Amino acid sequence: RWKDEYKGAAKLSGATEQMERVYNCGDASATLEIRPKLAALVKRHTVQRLFKLKMRVQDNARRMSARGIYVDQDRLDEARKHYTARMATTLAHLRRITNDDEFDPAKPAQLSDAIYTRFGAPVISRTKTGKRTLDATALAWVRPYLAPDGKEFIDHYLLWKQAQKIESTYLREGWRDGKNRVHGIEIQRDGAEHVIFSVTVPVTDRWSSSPNAQNRPEGDGKDPLTNVRRVYRARPGFVL
């Protein structure tokens, strides 16, 4: 009932503190109500030992979240400037190739028109809605069929897309998408990022985290500024 009447329709992006409290209290209340049934199922399937282990690991994850991961602000600023500059450089190349100072690769309509209409790329696949595919795999397939300027365009677009993805997903100040998922990096007043780790949500027994702190790019191995992981540092008195 909670999910149908309130939670399912809740839009927490930009929600008030009171709304978040009601939302979380509803989750806690529902969990408390089903606890006896869950405990009976655990006992019936003789998985008490596994359940206790999971709870101990989850407690460790909770303490890790509370302790946080320290962030080196200087290195974070350097990484942000690096990827912002890379985006600006590749965008300049894209606008030069298209001869359009207003070209925006973030707009699918403009990108599709440039690749498939201006440069004449063959349409080899479409999305479920019938639109021409623009992912990296499709672009790799059509690239050999293009003239030199079309190939150069795709090369610069993929570099721009990679930089934009890293900047927005791992380096930008914390933000939420339309599905209320957290992206970027949120630094609290103690100088640490308090990532929420969970070992009970994934059905494969792996860990999950929000925002995604488990897949931070290591970079190209040549330029240290491309290594997003270097923005983290050990807290005073410890070595990372």
Task: Report the pLDDT averaged over residues 136-141.
Answer: 92
Convert the pLDDT of each residue in 146-179 to its tens digit. 999 999 999 999 999 999 999 988 888 876 666 6
What lies within 8 Å, CB to CB, of 51 at 6+ separation is 42
The pLDDT of residue 2 is 38
Task: State the chain's mean pLDDT as an integer.
Answer: 85
Convert the pLDDT of each residue in 80-132 to its tens digit. 999 999 999 999 999 999 999 999 999 999 999 999 999 999 998 898 889 99
Q: Rounded distance, CA 228 to CA 218, Å? A: 6
The pLDDT of residue 1 is 38
pTM above 0.75, yes or no: no
Element at 198 (helix H, strand E): strand 196-198
Pairing of the two strands 196-198 and 192-193 = unpaired
Contact 124, 133 (CB under 8 A): yes
Q: In the chain, what percentage of residues exceed pLDDT 90?
A: 35
Q: Rounded distance, CA 21 to CA 28, Å? A: 10
